[in-house]
Structure 1
């Protein structure tokens, strides 16, 4: 039995003519597992943004390395608060501690030390009173006894990272905060998996390249540019194979070429049941394929499978993962976000949490949305926020699967789940936000 057939057999209720969104995601998780990248390389931190960590990072020391002040103020022994019977505490200012060097001197229980944010806390002192609470008169500082509690405004050594403990785990995608964390450990570079190579081409005799004159019945290729943007935002190395006509020999050549050059292939168009489309037949001839009608809108037709590589053509596994997407522009983007993006993140070496679909925002619908149970719908919406209230989402423009303008107008996809019914004004819905995703 083929690998695709094995995966299908293991899925409960698998029906290629009416496959649920959850079923697609489960299928793809199994399909891509053997093809996850293994090759790794060290890169400087300035080049590591979006890359996937190939090994655990163990903290070589505590961060911060010492107890320090969380703000500008005066450090003192907090036990004086417990002992104070008056409304105010008055202490002698013994000196000033600046960030970057430990203060050297002798302190007593009745002393205070003027201290800057980040400066090392002196031995025996455990509390900092903010300077705005204080009145300074010569070498004395005075503040209300009830303004704080013992231990306030002190950062502990190792409260961020403990020496010998994992700071970042293999499979973590290095975003800005992670780069800063690595820098805080004194690390100038990160060991990451190599970039995922993804080949892409559009199919169809009705597609025009930019620069070609318009002709009746033809449309300009927009999918190449949206897919390029999606892949580039994801951090992939994009192999652009242009456009391929509805010719079996040309399609076979393009797919074989893509399999030998890349870890994954994305095509758009040609996976429906149209008589003029040769893509399905060529895919079936070349690889181990499944063809689906997914219970979703937009994006019903889809193909997935494995295209064998020429021996010696690649350095990972013996086959390239293929995602055959619909031809309509919005359907391409929706199926990419719902299915392809999580699968590519897993291929890149991301762990399960980093490869998960984007989290959903909960929002109130500003209007009615018609929906029948039995399929998942992704409607373009525009979310607005008012402080103190749940975000509100309005459907954005024409929802046709070929209308890109509403993808531009919207800032998220309203996700109406498989079993969900129509939505009334004020009902809560899930929204997959675009920010950081497309």
Structure 2
């Protein structure tokens, strides 16, 4: 069924998982690019190739603390017959003017300092007497020399080949090379490279802002005292953490009571900081499921395409779902079920791909694989429903964790995979190969 057809499906239409996901991804669009400073761009996706303006390193430099020498001056040097060179000065990292190393001469050089003209290699300080006439040094006694560095001699006890301990100009990247390509997610190494080539800002798609709120008068915040009939609000914490894990900047609103007006005003207040909104709870057919009532009049529904569609999906857990857009800016909203496992599975299947689409990523889905089912007995699944069971995956095998109940948070905490049982399969025997969604 096409997206256009599913959008006009009647209230009794039983959506497939694929139809619902197709509708979401056909509606959500990548965020517009912006220019950000490097640290603000962490976790964002590049929208253009970055070309290297200056080679790295920009000049030949030393990879060791030691002495810059001419190869012929240290040829054949040994413990018994050291090469004795005149020290003409020091070359430090960041030094603008360089010495010239002539025949029989050397310059003390620090790591990262430019190789002075005339020099062809660097001998580590450990291969010398450090200019003290005491045999090879094992530490950094060379630094006890005068600040100016000129004067005196150094004994070199080993020969060196040309370019030894020299980092060549452009040996990392050369000017004109492509440093990073569009579509790259900027992590610490990529930010380091951008800084190293002199880029202080970069053009990226920003991390989407996701607002998460749970609904239900029975919900109490952690650390508060539970009353009769109350439970702790775990969904808003789980989904906020999941949104951050997906790459978003996530804001947790917390639990909102079962009052349509309160929920409506809370959602309207949050629209200003949302690129995507996620609610959990209140999407079934119960008398107190106020999410439908509240979302029916949020923002500007008179605009074409606005509004939330509440659906039944052929899946377990997570049959009741809602999706649409709200407000004058048509902010996408996904309304998830309230049971903890249902909401988390729904997030992984529908919200995470939406977040990754907003980021501008090409691959928006969790990786999938085939694995051998290891279990004590056959798995059962309702006919006509695609079931997602929690499991642990290792070495090509997957083992169910806990039961099929959508309230089993403890079992969910142990799982790193979802076992997928297709709609047309009602039983899966141990040893059977199954599709697995990898969560870790």
Question: What is the TM-score with the length of structure 1 in the denominator?
Answer: 0.67
SS at match of 1:344: helix
CA contact (8 A) 2:54 2:175 kept: yes
Q: Does 1:399 align with 2:418?
A: no
Name the residue aligned to 2:337: 326
In structure 1, the gaps of 5 or more residues are 1-5, 67-91, 106-112, 116-137, 140-156, 310-317, 385-389
Equivalent of 1:271 in 260, 271, 283: 283
CA contact (8 A) 2:379 2:427 kept: yes
CA contact (8 A) 1:43 1:192 kept: no
Equivalent of 1:379 in 378, 389, 394: 389
SS at match of 2:14: coil
The Cα shift of 1:346 comes to: 1.4
CA contact (8 A) 1:265 1:320 kept: yes
Q: Does 1:289 align with 2:294?
A: no
What's the CA shift string for 1:89-141, capped at 9, x where partnerless? xxx999xxxx9889999xxxxxxx9x9xxxxxxxxxxxxxxxxxxxxxx99xx
Distance 1:61 1:418 in 2: 57
Name the residue aligned to 1:44: 38
Distance 2:257 2:333 in 1: 18
- How has the CA–CA distance of structure 1 residues 58 and 251 changed in structure 2, closer, same or farther, with 3 Å as cutoff? same
The Cα shift of 1:225 comes to: 1.0
Distance 1:265 1:181 in 2: 34
The Cα shift of 1:221 comes to: 0.7
Distance 1:17 1:160 in 2: 58
What's the CA shift string for 1:7-66, capped at 9, x where partnerless? 543779898632111111110111112xx3225232225x54322224332344788999
CA contact (8 A) 1:7 1:31 kept: no
Q: Does 1:425 align with 2:435?
A: no
CA contact (8 A) 2:212 2:254 kept: yes
Distance 1:173 1:325 in 2: 28
CA contact (8 A) 2:247 2:355 kept: no
Distance 2:439 2:35 in 1: 30
Distance 1:283 1:253 in 2: 10
Equivalent of 1:344 in 330, 339, 355: 355
Name the residue aligned to 1:31: 27
Name the residue aligned to 1:306: 325
Name the residue aligned to 1:224: 236
- How has the CA–CA distance of structure 1 residues 17 and 93 changed in structure 2, closer, same or farther, with 3 Å as cutoff? farther
The Cα shift of 1:366 comes to: 0.7
The Cα shift of 1:433 comes to: 2.1
Distance 1:21 1:419 in 2: 14
Equivalent of 2:213 in 188, 197, 201: 201
Name the residue aligned to 1:364: 372
Name the residue aligned to 2:419: 414
Distance 2:226 2:214 in 1: 18
- How has the CA–CA distance of structure 1 residues 10 and 336 changed in structure 2, closer, same or farther, with 3 Å as cutoff? closer
- How has the CA–CA distance of structure 1 residues 14 and 191 changed in structure 2, closer, same or farther, with 3 Å as cutoff? farther
- How has the CA–CA distance of structure 1 residues 17 and 44 changed in structure 2, closer, same or farther, with 3 Å as cutoff? same
Distance 1:279 1:10 in 2: 22
CA contact (8 A) 2:35 2:201 kept: no
The Cα shift of 1:229 comes to: 1.0
CA contact (8 A) 1:399 1:406 kept: no
Distance 2:383 2:316 in 1: 12
Matched residues, number = 352
Aligned-CA RMSD value:
4.1
162-171 or 395-404, which deviates more: 162-171
CA contact (8 A) 1:263 1:320 kept: yes
CA contact (8 A) 2:216 2:257 kept: yes
The residue correspondences of 1:52-63 to structure 2 (distance < 5 A) are 52-60=45-53
CA contact (8 A) 2:41 2:206 kept: no
Distance 2:374 2:360 in 1: 36
Q: Does 1:252 align with 2:264?
A: yes
Distance 2:170 2:318 in 1: 49
CA contact (8 A) 2:43 2:207 kept: no
In structure 2, the gaps of 5 or more residues are 60-74, 78-110, 124-157, 160-168, 302-306
SS at match of 1:24: helix
7-16 or 273-282, which deviates more: 7-16
- How has the CA–CA distance of structure 1 residues 261 and 103 changed in structure 2, closer, same or farther, with 3 Å as cutoff? closer
The Cα shift of 1:278 comes to: 1.8
